[in-house]
Amino acid sequence: MITPYIGYLAAILGTICWLPQAWKAWATRDTAGLSLVSNLMFLLTVLLWFGYGLLIGDWPLILANFCAILIVLSIVAAKLKFG
C-alpha cells in the first residue's frame, strides 16, 4: 500500500533536484561549469525511462520523467545558447 507513495516521492525529489541548476543557468547565463555531454546523456536516460514508463503504464515514472525531460532540455538549451 505504501509502494506507490514511495514511487511518487522519489519521482518528485528526483525531478525537482534539477530545477536549481536550470534556474541558475538561465538566471546567470553562466554554463561554463556544465557538461553538455553529461546533460545530453542524462536527457537520453530520462527519455528512455519515460518511454519505459509509458510501456508499462507506471505513472510515477511517466510524470517524473516527462518533467525531467523539460527541465533537462532547458539546461541543454541554456548550455547551447550561453555556453
* Structural domain range at position 31: 3-82
CB 67 within 8 A of CB 15: yes
Q: What is the pLDDT of residues 64-74, one digit of tens each?
A: 999 999 999 99
- How many structural domains is the chain composed of? 1
pLDDT at 72: 97
Enumerate residues 6+ apart whose C-beta is below 8 A from 8: 60
Q: pLDDT-derived band of residue 83, with 50, 70 and 90 as boundaries? A: confident
- Cell 523539460, located at residue: 70
CB 69 within 8 A of CB 46: yes
* CATH (domain of 30): 1.20.1280.290
- In the chain, the amino acid numbered 71 is I
Q: What is the pLDDT of residues 3-62, one digit of tens each?
A: 888 888 988 998 999 999 999 999 999 999 999 999 999 999 999 999 999 999 998 889
